[in-house]
Structure 1
Amino acid sequence: MLRRFLFANFKLVYKLSQWMRHRFTSAGLMIVLIIPVAGVFGFDTRATLSFQIFSITLVLLITSISLSLFFRGKFSIERRLPDFGTVGTPLYYSCTVKNKNKTPKRGLILIDDLNSPFPTINEFAKTQDPLDKKRNRIDRFIGYPRLVNTIQKCRGGSIAPVSIDYIAEKSNAEEHIELIPLRRGYLYFEKTRLGQVDPLGLFHAQKIINNKDKLLILPKLYKTPALNFKGKRTYQLGGVNNASSTGDSQEFMSLRDYRPGDPIRSIHWKSFAKTNHPVVKEYDDEFFVRYGLILDTYLDKKPEEIFENAVSIAASFMTAQKEQDALLDLMFIGNNTYRFTSGRGLGGNENILEVLSCIEPEYQSNILKMEIMLKEYIHECSGLICILLNLDDERKKLIETLSQFNIPIKILIITDAEGIILDDLPDSIEANIIHSDSLQEDIDRL
């Protein structure tokens, strides 16, 4: 009950603090803090002169806010974003501000806002903040610092205000803005605010311009080794054209007469028109190398950092694969079973990176679903990489099942703890531990 009461007031406190931070300058915030203090100590006008400070600061603040009401003007803003960004790597984009007024404008401040949804109480209860370990007990119990960090994570990026010294009348000013992505996925731009400090330097007058846009942020990428399994080429029904789609599409070989049972879509209609009897296209199937990359999404109670590291490693393998005679399948369990293919002229890396950028962890076990999916797929596979988030009994059973198939399998276990024992795993499985605090070093040893 107490937590619900506190959370109900968090939204009001947060919105008020954000409004004050956006509208008051540093000097203005100091005046806001002085007014109530001076008012309390100046209640007895005969015993102290604090009431004079209260009166002066209050008049200054009211005058400042009143002067800001005279900020008028017509502006338009055009934002030009890059195709994508990467977590933790600063990127720059440009905003063109057009002054549609007949007078020049000086001393403007450009503030680009990202959408910052306020979490529900259930979402807030599930969030994990690594910084909680460094906070005192009161902050951990109340939870407001964790709420602020949760909102910042939902926002997804940090954008510093940009000062515009001068824009001539009926002209444009192009400003370059730095954005630091804090998470992967889409960042949603909501609005742009143009501000101007009042003559007293206490309050920002602002004009809000709705300017919605979005930008894809990719997972952090690492340098990964080339996939070098000793697996053999496997038979692929339908050839490479059928590697990432369903149906009977195969590699074209020749034409032949129609036989009962041939699919109608295989009929070669031009030859049918010339010969006046049905002719069908004959196809040939292919053998080629096909690797599987399994991403474990069952996070359970592990820190979210482990899942983020697993996604980064999966994305790194998908982008590093350049062998032209091989396919690489990404597979994971979410709301459904997902499988995406890239390589050998199929392309698709952009779409796969978009999927990995937006993937979310699961908090209910899906290891059995993963085992069922792999049993259906593994006969097409020349080698398999499994990126696991833990090594519990369920996952050990999965590894034992995979070891029964005669293909090379490499297991990567992402962890932030020590003491994981690999001795009880099957000898045919190559298992590696990837520590969160030494990702690149551990990957280099693969």
Structure 2
Amino acid sequence: MSDKLQRRLFHIYSVGSLLGFATKQRVSSLGWLLLVGVPSVGFMCLIYPRDTLFRLFGILAALIIVAFFAALSRRAKLRVNRHMPAYGTVGETIEYTVECANSGRFTLANYYLQDLAPDPRPSKPLFLNGREPGEELRNGFDRRYLAYRWMWMTRRRLLFKSKPMMGETLAVGAKGTMRLQFSPLRRGVIQMERMQVILPDPMGVFQRVSRAEQESDTLIVLPKRYAFDGVNFQGQSRNQLGGDSTSSLAGQSGEFVSLREYRPGDPPKHIHWPSWGKAGKPIIKEYEDIFFPRYGLILDTAVKAEQEDIFEEAISIAATFVCSLDTEQALLDLMFVQQGARVVTVGKNVERVDKMLEVLAGLEMESQPDWEALRKMVLSHADALTTCIVVLCDWNDERAHLVNRLAASGVQLCVLLVIDGENEPVLVEDSSVSIVQIKVGQAEAGLSALARF
């Protein structure tokens, strides 16, 4: 198919989707019934000229005209301020409060408020270069005109669904409060800036839509997490100092042990000043070193567009592990590829778990992963790790090499492979460790069946 035709199709679908959405917002179900009924009755009048049909045609046409101008005459100038939670979770209804102020010249009654999701239409590069899963199996007409690709992309990019809620009557200058809700469909960062005031006509045929005056609000939708009791990792702490006195600034120590002479490099905060005064030279308080575990979590982001369901399941599994580990007495390193190899650490005196969940909420698929950079980064952390959890979305030579290098370093491994729920288990070759395969849609059962480590 020529690029020229694809670009034309993009513009046609983009404009058509916009017009269709705008029309759907402004015409009710009754309105569509009347818009279809009036031409039908008019056609019947031409074939069967009866007074009854002419009267019916006149009544329906008059109803449409009156409703149209009644909706057109409605005005609203509403200032809104949202009070939203900082986080939401995929699949869980989010409720929030909206403060409304009528800054218009008329009393506002019989209206609805609705927060719309960001525009789900794909960009031109995404539409031209992306592919719908199973697109190659469609007939020639569908592959040529790409209507199903467009519908699939817009459906996958819709972040949440909401319903209009009726607002209370507000006099000029009056303020009120109402509650709205919506259900997130996908993880990510949502910019809330499309609240609309819906003004129906008295007969409910048409409705005018007006944009409310508002400030942009941000909501972070975290990945779905599963009920999971955790895994009893039996690995030993590997030289990760910690304890009650651990500080994110300097010094790792436990209980006080003894006093000794100062050595170059000792932290000044451990100087025992009374002993220095008596001895005439610096004396240091020595503490017992306490060790605590450090875990690694490697997430596979090298995923094709048609494997999006697998990628989302892998992120949910990773988020489940993040929430199940006790990071109050441990550290957790999340390692992945996103425009280069990256590592995010949470745990004792470093960052809260919320930080890692935010990172997982914003992760995207990586089309050109740098496996060598990921291997170097992972192996550089291996000596400090108690256990490493590896969540994979596929199996090939690059992934096998990564897993085998980790196993050779001596770190304890827990390797999970997420597979399509409709496919048979993947034949895993060239792996020196056992791999647990979890099907999409059966993650909770797969996690609960994990053997203890």
Decide: shared fold, TM above 0.5.
yes
* Letter paired with 2:181: E
TM (normalized to structure 2)? 0.81
User: Are residues 1:66 and 2:79 paired?
Assistant: no
Kindly indicate whether the alpha-carbon contact (under 8 Å) linking 2:346 and 2:355 is maintained by their aligned counterparts in 1: no
Aligned ranges 1:207-286 → 2 under 5 Å: 207-211=210-214, 212-236=216-240, 239=242, 250-251=252-253, 257=262, 259=264, 262=265
SS of 1:96's equivalent? Answer: strand
User: Are residues 1:420 and 2:426 paired?
Assistant: yes
Describe the superposition over 1:186-234 as per-residue Cα deviations: whole angstroms up to 9, x where unpaired.
Answer: 1211132222222343221233113221211110101234232232221
Give the whole-Å Cα distance in 2 for the aligned partners of 1:23 and 1:158.
18
For structure 2, list consecutive stretches of 5 or more residues without a partner in the other structure: none
Structure 1 residue 361: Cα displacement: 1.2
Structure 1 residue 403: Cα displacement: 1.9
Give the whole-Å Cα distance in 2 for the aligned partners of 1:72 and 1:433.
58
* Letter paired with 2:70: L
* Letter paired with 2:164: P
Kindly indicate whether the alpha-carbon contact (under 8 Å) linking 1:90 and 1:181 is maintained by their aligned counterparts in 2: yes
User: Are residues 1:367 and 2:371 paired?
Assistant: yes
SS of 2:82's equivalent? Answer: strand
Give the whole-Å Cα distance in 2 for the aligned partners of 1:268 and 1:289.
25
Give the whole-Å Cα distance in 2 for the aligned partners of 1:51 and 1:80.
54
User: Are residues 1:440 and 2:444 paired?
Assistant: yes
User: Are residues 1:409 and 2:413 paired?
Assistant: yes
SS of 1:437's equivalent? Answer: coil
Give the whole-Å Cα distance in 2 for the aligned partners of 1:279 and 1:8.
76
Greater Cα shift, 142-151 or 201-210: 142-151
Describe the superposition over 1:122-156 as per-residue Cα deviations: whole angstroms up to 9, x where unpaired.
Answer: 21245455697998875565333542443344340
Kindly indicate whether the alpha-carbon contact (under 8 Å) linking 1:413 and 1:434 is maintained by their aligned counterparts in 2: yes
Kindly indicate whether the alpha-carbon contact (under 8 Å) linking 1:290 and 1:383 is maintained by their aligned counterparts in 2: yes
SS of 1:194's equivalent? Answer: strand
SS of 2:417's equivalent? Answer: strand
Aligned ranges 1:179-218 → 2 under 5 Å: 179-211=182-214, 212-218=216-222
Greater Cα shift, 392-401 or 224-233: 224-233
Kindly indicate whether the alpha-carbon contact (under 8 Å) linking 1:190 and 1:210 is maintained by their aligned counterparts in 2: no
Identity of aligned pairs, percent? Answer: 27
Greater Cα shift, 316-325 or 247-256: 247-256
Structure 1 residue 161: Cα displacement: 0.9
SS of 1:79's equivalent? Answer: strand
Give the whole-Å Cα distance in 1 for the aligned partners of 2:334 and 2:106.
57
Kindly indicate whether the alpha-carbon contact (under 8 Å) linking 2:295 and 2:330 is maintained by their aligned counterparts in 1: yes
Greater strand content: 1
SS of 1:177's equivalent? Answer: strand
Give the counterpart of 2:21 among 5, 18, 26. Answer: 18
Q: 1:296 matched to which residue of 2?
A: 300
Alignment RMSD: 4.0
User: Are residues 1:160 and 2:163 paired?
Assistant: yes
Structure 1 residue 297: Cα displacement: 0.9
User: Are residues 1:383 and 2:390 paired?
Assistant: no
SS of 1:432's equivalent? Answer: strand
Give the whole-Å Cα distance in 2 for the aligned partners of 1:61 and 1:244.
72
SS of 2:18's equivalent? Answer: helix
Relative to structure 1, the CA distance from residue 256 to residue 144 in structure 2 (aligned partners, 3 Å threshold; closer, same or farther) is farther
For structure 1, list consecutive stretches of 5 or more residues without a partner in the other structure: none
Kindly indicate whether the alpha-carbon contact (under 8 Å) linking 1:115 and 1:188 is maintained by their aligned counterparts in 2: yes
Q: 2:315 matched to which residue of 1?
A: 311
* Letter paired with 2:427: I
Q: 1:112 matched to which residue of 2?
A: 115
Structure 1 residue 45: Cα displacement: 7.1
Give the number of equivalent residue pairs: 435
Give the whole-Å Cα distance in 1 for the aligned partners of 2:322 and 2:86.
19
Kindly indicate whether the alpha-carbon contact (under 8 Å) linking 2:272 and 2:285 is maintained by their aligned counterparts in 1: no
Give the whole-Å Cα distance in 1 for the aligned partners of 2:384 and 2:328.
18
Give the whole-Å Cα distance in 1 for the aligned partners of 2:130 and 2:392.
21
Give the whole-Å Cα distance in 2 for the aligned partners of 1:366 and 1:225.
34
Describe the superposition over 1:32-87 as per-residue Cα deviations: whole angstroms up to 9, x where unpaired.
Answer: 44577788x69x97997999998876665454333333323443222221221111
* Letter paired with 1:69: L
Give the whole-Å Cα distance in 2 for the aligned partners of 1:199 and 1:297.
53
SS of 1:380's equivalent? Answer: coil
TM (normalized to structure 1)? 0.82
Greater Cα shift, 323-332 or 312-321: 323-332
Give the whole-Å Cα distance in 2 for the aligned partners of 1:370 and 1:132.
32
Structure 1 residue 93: Cα displacement: 1.8
Describe the superposition over 1:240-260 as per-residue Cα deviations: whole angstroms up to 9, x where unpaired.
Answer: 799998x9754498785574x
Relative to structure 1, the CA distance from residue 48 to residue 148 in structure 2 (aligned partners, 3 Å threshold; closer, same or farther) is farther
User: Are residues 1:86 and 2:89 paired?
Assistant: yes
Kindly indicate whether the alpha-carbon contact (under 8 Å) linking 2:247 and 2:349 is maintained by their aligned counterparts in 1: no
Q: 1:7 matched to which residue of 2?
A: 10
Give the whole-Å Cα distance in 1 for the aligned partners of 2:393 and 2:16.
37
Relative to structure 1, the CA distance from residue 280 to residue 194 in structure 2 (aligned partners, 3 Å threshold; closer, same or farther) is farther
Kindly indicate whether the alpha-carbon contact (under 8 Å) linking 1:157 and 1:187 is maintained by their aligned counterparts in 2: no
* Letter paired with 2:79: S
